[in-house]
Amino acid sequence: MSRPISAAPQDVLPILTALLQRQSQATLPFHTPGHQQGRGSSQVIQDLLGEGLSLDLTELPGLDYLAAPSGPIAEAQDLAAQTFGSDLTWFLVNGSSVGIMAALLATVGEGETVLLPRNVHQSAISGLILSGANPVFINPDWDATWGLAYPLGAEQVAQGLAAHPEAKAVFLVSPTYEGLCSPLGAIANVVHSYDIPLIVDEAHGSHLGFHPQLPPSALSQGADVVIQSSHKTLTALTQAAMLHHQGSRIHGQALSRCLNLLQTTSPSYLLLASLDAARHQIATQGQQHYDQLIGAIADCWQKLDPLGLPRLDNRLGPMDPTRLTLGTWPLGLTGFALDEWLDQQQKITAELPCLRYLTFLWGWGTTAKMLESFSEGINALMRAYPILRHDPPAAFPLNESMLPSISQPHLTPRQGFFAPQESFPLGESIGRISATSLCPYPPGIPLILPGEVITAGAIAQMEQILEAGGQITGLENHSRKTVSVVMS
Ligand SMILES: Cc1ncc(COP(=O)(O)O)c(C=O)c1O
């Protein structure tokens, strides 16, 4: 059963305390990292990072081991487990990406079936390549006006499992990058009725459940494994993330083994200490912080709503109020063009530009004053609108469905990735099987997977994204004109 999130203040920071103790011992550092507590760092780095460099340490006496923790890391992970409501929590130093790969590797083996939505992050595809699992994709609802996919609902998962009762796990993304959440409680009931685990990519939802106006967390709704990018919506340093586990459908030891296979043996203690501090901060200040932030966001809405720009709602389940997604099509703009305009003209930088919308993230550093500047910037945009409208950027379709192809891959991602392959001009590759992921970044959701047939629709969408100023990873060279395909 799920546990409620603990609100108990846990006023200790074991990793930071251990680091400071180590620093105070002032031993001569004949060990890595080679800058030896900043003494040898280049001057620019010393000027930039100063004192902090003396804390850039890795595994040393008294500092514990990430792969076999028994000291401050174990203590900090236990505190995180209590705070987030898991049985076990692991700290990650390569983002949610490494947690997602490890969770899939620990759960579904070569040739075994896993159900997942087609619009997963590329790290889930990497997990499938590593494990050799056979993905069965479930079709998410597609919104052609916004040009985005909704998270899966319980009925879709129930249908998927009825058609594939052999599945060994279900993997979901909730919330999506735009803050849309699945009804995870109902989904967990369906998945558990097959006695298989539910893995949730909650990369964008470390903060969920810490305030009554935030959607509930995946753990509180019964998910077996949950992966969170603590660096995205909490205050951990970039790359720092957590993997949480509860119940007995997946063996904790299997998760440990897979994490140890994939994580570095030289974890940065600055990253680990930042996870500890982020856990402490949300446990002790979360309620107050989200009271203020959600209040300031409501004031901001009052100013923005009369402007008439569409903002995204979730018709399937709850939505994270700390994400704002504005539709850009009424302005005759792509999200990429609006992103650039706001960045250059208003000094406002958004999180996620897409063809038909732009998503903003309101986090721990967002102040009421910043939100005021934000609404002024959007007001300025609306004043500038006629000018932008006379000079529209690259055309983009209004109604064409742009969801990645839902057909089952020709080969598993692993078979496609490791098959003999050759370079091929992208424009001539329609009908060929891709040996790689072709992926707009952000959001990092592949249009084509290794093992999947390259379609005219996917190429057209990639061309649109590139033309609008977006990036595609997976194309082979700087001219981005060739792609690796499976040899025929
Ligand atoms: C839905 C989703 N899952 C996983 C990830 C990977 O997270 P990380 O950057 O922490 O590795 C991302 C990154 O943007 C994401 O959007």
What's the mean per-residue pLDDT of the chain?
90
In which residue ranges of the chain is CATH 3.90.100.10 found?
Answer: 413-486
Closest ligand 1 atom to residue 201 Cα is 3
pLDDT on residue 6: 53
Ligand 1 centre to CA of 26 (Å) is 38
Closest ligand 1 atom to residue 442 Cα is 14
pLDDT on residue 407: 61
Determine the topology of domain 413-486 in CATH. Ornithine Decarboxylase; Chain A, domain 4 (3.90.100)
Would you say residue 393 has pLDDT above 60? no
CATH class of 287-390: alpha beta
The CATH number assigned to the domain with range 27-284 reads 3.40.640.10
Ligand 1 centre to CA of 94 (Å) is 10
**pLDDT tens-digit series, residues 51-63:** 899 999 988 888 9
Three-class secondary structure assignment of the chain: CCCCCCCCCCCCCHHHHHHHHHHHHCCCCCCCCCCCCCCCCCHHHHHHHHHHHHHCCCCCCCCCCCCCCCCHHHHHHHHHHHHHCCCEEEEECCHHHHHHHHHHHHHCCCCCEEEEECCCCHHHHHHHHHHCCEEEEECCCEECCCCEECCCCHHHHHHHHHHCCCCCEEEEECCCCCCECCCHHHHHHHHHHCCCCEEEECCCCCCCCCCCCCCCCCHHHCCCEEEECHHHHCCCCCCCEEEEECCCCCCHHHHHHHHHHHCCCCCCHHHHHHHHHHHHHHHHHHHHHHHHHHHHHHHHHHHHHHHCCCECCCCCCCECCCEEEEECHHHCCCHHHHHHHHHHHHCCCCCEECCCEEEEECCCCCCHHHHHHHHHHHHHHHHHHHHHHHCCCCCCCCCCCCCCCCCCCCCCHHHHHHCCEEEEEHHHCCCCEECCCEEEECCCCCCECCCCECCHHHHHHHHHHHHCCCEEECCCCCCCCEEEEECC
In which residue ranges of the chain is CATH 3.40.640.10 found?
Answer: 27-284
Name the range with the highest mean pLDDT among 48-62, 167-181, 438-452.
167-181
Ligand 1 pocket: which of 229, 239, 445, 471 to mutate (most atoms within 8 A of CB)? 229
**pLDDT band, very low/low/confident/very high, at 313 (cuts 50, 70, 90):** confident
Ligand 1 pocket: which of 96, 177, 178, 201 to mutate (most atoms within 8 A of CB)? 96
Closest ligand 1 atom to residue 99 Cα is 11
241 lines ligand 1 (CB under 6 A): yes
Ligand 1 centre to CA of 473 (Å) is 15
201 lines ligand 1 (CB under 6 A): yes
pLDDT on residue 171: 98
178 lines ligand 1 (CB under 6 A): no
Would you say residue 18 has pLDDT above 90? yes
101 lines ligand 1 (CB under 6 A): no
446 lines ligand 1 (CB under 6 A): no
